[in-house]
Each structure stands twice: as C-alpha cells, then as structure tokens.
Amino acid sequence: MKKYIVVTGAAGFIGSCLVGFLNQHGFTDLILVDEFGDAAKEPNLAGKLFGEKVEREAFFDWLNGERPNVDFVCHIGARTDTTEFDYSIHQRLNVEYSQKIWAWCTEHRVPLVYASSAATYGGGELGYEDRHDLPYELKPLNPYGVSKNEFDKWALEQAAAGGITAPPFWAGLKFFNVYGPNEYHKGRMASVIFHSFNQIKKDGFVKLFKSHRPDFADGQQLRDFVYVKDVVKVCFWLMENRPESGLYNLGTGKARSFEDLVKATFAGLDLPARIEYIDMPEDIRDKYQYFTEAKMGKLRAAGYKNAFKSLEEGVIDYVRNYLAKKNYL
C-alpha cells in the first residue's frame, strides 16, 4: 500500500523546495496542499513528482473522503506577510488551520513537522533560546509573529496534556531568515538578496535601510540568514530520525549584517559593492528586528550533524546558479 507524505504550502517558497528535495530522495507519493490558483507560483512545481494536488480549503474534506495512508505531514503553509496587520487572517490561517492539522495528525497517529518562525522572538529582549517555557513570555512585533507564537503555545499545551492530544512525533521549526530559489513570486516579502540582485541589475547599486537605533550603524542590522537548501535538509532529517518532540530553532547560529549580505550578492555577480542608505518606512520602524541569532544547541544535541552553508556560500550559489539564470530548485 502506498504511503504518502503531505506537504502544505507546497507551491510556495520553502514548500516547493522541500518537494524537490523529497523527489531527489525517491519520495514521489506526495500530497501537495496549497492555493494553486496563483500563476506566479506554478513554475515552483514544474517537473516535480507527486501523487495528489489538493486545494487548501478542501483538504480536510478530501482527507475524510479519500482516507489516504499518510506517513508524515510537513505543514509549511502559512500566511507569512509581516506587513498584514489584520490579525483575523493570521488567526484563521496560521492558528486555526494549524490546529486542525495537529488534530488530524493526533487522531491518525501521524508525525508532524510544522513551520514556526523566529518572528515569535520579537525584539530579542529575552534571547533566542528554543526553550519550552519562553513562548509564554515572548512579545512578537507583528500579527504574523503573534500567530506563530500562539500556535506554539497551544501545541506545547496539547503535548503537555499527554500523548493522546499530540502526534506521535512533532517538531515546530522556528525558521530564521530563509533565502534561496523559488521565491520569485513573493514580491515585497522576498529576501533582501532577491531584491538586491534586481536592484543591481537595474541601477547598479543597492538601497539598504538606515539604522534608527544609535547602537547599530547603517547596514549593521544583524540577522541569522539560512539557505533554503539547509532548511529542507533539516526537515528531511527530522522526518527520518524523529528525535524528541518539541520546538527547534532553524538558523545557522551566526548573525550577519545586511551589509555582508549585499556584498556577497555583488560578489556573486563579480561586481564591486555599491550601497546607498535610505530611511526605513515609518510603518515598520517600531516593529523591526535589529538582531536575530538562532541558538542551535538543541537541534545539535538531538543529533543533527550537517554543517550549514556560510552566508557567502549560500548567497553566491543562489545568485550564480538561480537568480542569474532564472532557475528554480
């Protein structure tokens, strides 16, 4: 009997890269879940192998009708727009939909990996430890981060109530700043590398936000940038190894500056760096993270041994082999 792997958000950035990675490892009986009406996302799945495509809003009815033999669920789909301030949208898509995924996995004893976010950590005042007591103290800076933290707290509460209220294995991955192929459709929410590449091709220089804090120089705002190829490796490792359930950070563990990021983008094009600094839009100034850095000890202690690409390695690969050639992963 076929065993399926479900990937939600399958037509999106990280989801489609995960589908490709699973294909490379021989997994083709995939159930892809997303809103498939967006033509801009169609190239993300071109040439990829799967068993079924199911619209997001029809997914649970489809499960009840088809009763597929699901081996694992990778719940990557979410409303990820940090500039969407209508919390009801995030509540429906990031909290309530995820709760339904969790409940189905619990009832059918199916392991689950789901996408959380470093946005849960807010301004970072409480650090970036993936401890299970911390979500109850965190104050995310935008509705997206709030919704991800609310679901993390809910998941922890279900797990604490005993095995019958949680999947047999689960992991909530707090993605830090993920970049890489298949984000062409993301518009304003695409990575700084994507926007920098396009600015360089158009104008020959890159605009970066000025710092509006005295303790950070312009361009020295720091983030933990992680290459999507490393992200999908971790998802696959968790699927295969199933260590202790819980929340796990997923970054490189090394914060780097936006200036470093842009210089690496120029290097990928064999060009000298030209950077101009502009004022940050007022609507995001008080909700802007100036520093993020994943504490990766928990995932390492769970047994994950693979190295993460450095910023320069990841950016240059992305620029030369994907952006410059308009390739997909």
Our answer to whether residue 277 is catalytic in this structure is: no
pTM of this prediction?
A: 0.95
pLDDT for the residue 1 = 62
In 58-147, beta strands by DSSP E: 70-75, 112-117
**Which residues pair with residue 64 across a beta bridge?**
none
How far are the Cα atoms of 193, 195, 280 from residue 262, in angstroms, in the given order? 7, 10, 17
Look at 249 and 123; give whichever has higher pLDDT.
249
Task: Please give the share of the chain, as a percent, with pLDDT higher than 90.
Answer: 88
Q: Which residues have C-beta within 8 Å of that of residue 267, sequence separation ≥ 6?
A: 312, 315, 316
Contact 304, 234 (CB under 8 A): yes
Structure-derived torsion over alpha carbons of residues 177, 182, 184, 188, reported in degrees to the nearest 10: -20
Residue in 4, 97, 144, 248 annotated catalytic = 144
pLDDT for the residue 87 = 83
Longest pairwise C-alpha distance within the chain? 62
Task: Please give the share of the chain, as a percent, with pLDDT higher than 70.
Answer: 98
- Report pLDDT digits (tens) over 85-112: 788 888 989 999 999 999 999 999 999 9
Q: Confidence class of residue 285 from pLDDT cuts 50, 70 and 90?
A: confident
Contact 294, 251 (CB under 8 A): yes
Of 160, 157, 135, 158, nearest to 145 by C-alpha is: 135
CA–CA separation, 170 vs 166, rounded Å? 8
Q: Which residues have C-beta within 8 Å of that of residue 20, sequence separation ≥ 6?
A: 48, 232, 329
pLDDT for the residue 166 = 96
Q: Confidence class of residue 134 from pLDDT cuts 50, 70 and 90?
A: very high
- Report pLDDT digits (tens) over 156-212: 999 998 767 999 999 999 999 999 999 999 988 899 999 999 999 999 999 999 999
Our answer to whether residue 186 is catalytic in this structure is: yes
- Report pLDDT digits (tens) over 221-234: 999 999 999 999 99
Of 20, 13, 107, nearest to 60 by C-alpha is: 107
Residue in 186, 207, 233, 295 annotated catalytic = 186
Contact 283, 142 (CB under 8 A): no
- Report strand pairing: 206-209 vs 246-250: unpaired
Contact 223, 177 (CB under 8 A): yes
Domains along the chain? 4-178+225-253+296-301 (3.40.50.720), 187-223+255-292+311-323 (3.90.25.10)
